[in-house]
Amino acid sequence: MASKPKKSKSKSKSKQRKSNSLSESSSTAWYYLLAIFPVLLLILTSQVLRNLISPPPSDFGSGSMFDLIATRYDFINRALSLNLDMSWRHKLVEKVVGTKGELFAGNGGGDSVKILDLATGTADVAILLGKAASRYKTHSDSPEASSTVLGLDPSRSMLNVGEAKIEEADLSNIVRLQLGDARNLDSLEDDTFNAATMSFGIRNVPEKDEALCEIHRVLKTGSSTESKLAIMEFSEPGPDSGILGSVARLFIRHVVPAMGAVLSGYPKEYMHLQKSIKDFPSPSEFVALMEGLRCPVKDGDELSINSVGSFRVKEVVNMNGGSVQIYLATPILKTYVTE
């Protein structure tokens, strides 16, 4: 007679465990549904925008486009990159400067180091380079030996934002900004800069070979210390890039244009961002483009008929599931024997 109550108690506990398990499963399902809902909403928004707005042309990413979004550019960058973009920029600067400031130490000690930051935008990279130049500055008392950073961008409004940030960082004596286009650096002399950087800008340049040849012209070649070019750019991960690559591809195709449109109020500008990433060459194709350049070089005052300029890509750093690359290269001269 005493065993029956025990059996009833055991069944009650079993039912309670099942009830708790069902409750936990239901809570988990709702949690996942709430987490996925914003993404699904952004994907739907992206599809609606594609149906309502005609695709921007490939040369849409001009200075005037960035003038429209300049004041919110930094905020939107942080939001779209999930606050990762500054870590990518730090990595770029580290690759250029060296973990112990080798760029400055390897330049003869007393000579100034000149760095060019193209598509500088609101000067995030230029400021990081300026901080590095200040940290590793030469010990010479000569003003000519101080290192400098020149940032160029085709958007006046972006530069205005950058100049305020430079003043706030107390780097006005090191970092200077100037209106300019990477395809035409006529205001800069040949063989001038020890390093050049370009972050998320080359994909907005239709004539990539022209811009790269202009960069080649202003970088120092043939000196005892190699000059450097570091280009950081997005690309759409391929189908063999794994789960992280698939997530990054989904994010670029759907979340970026929709979220950018909502945050900025300029949907066409962020449709261009997605389209320019999709159309940008794969890492191997971009390396081939850089190394296959035939840039004109001068022999004295005349163009050389035996030599052309190009780049040797030394390293490609992949980040963020294969959606961000840093291309590290040095300018070289290729000589052809003519009979």
Query: Using 50, 70 and 90 to split pLDDT, how confident is the model at 194?
Result: very high
How far is the CA of 134 from the CAs of 127, 162, 171, 315, 330, in angstroms?
10, 18, 8, 27, 24
3-class DSSP state for residue 219? strand
- What's the predicted TM-score (pTM) here? 0.82
**Cβ(157)–Cβ(76) below 8 Å:** no
User: Amino acid letter at 135?
Assistant: R
Segment of 34-38, 98-102, 236-240 carrying the highest mean pLDDT: 98-102
Task: Give dist(CA 93, CA 125) in Å, integer.
Answer: 7
Q: What is the tens place of the pLDDT at every residue in 105-122? A: 866 555 789 999 999 999
Give me the percent of the chain exceeding a pLDDT of 90: 53
The pairing of beta strand 302-319 with beta strand 195-199: unpaired
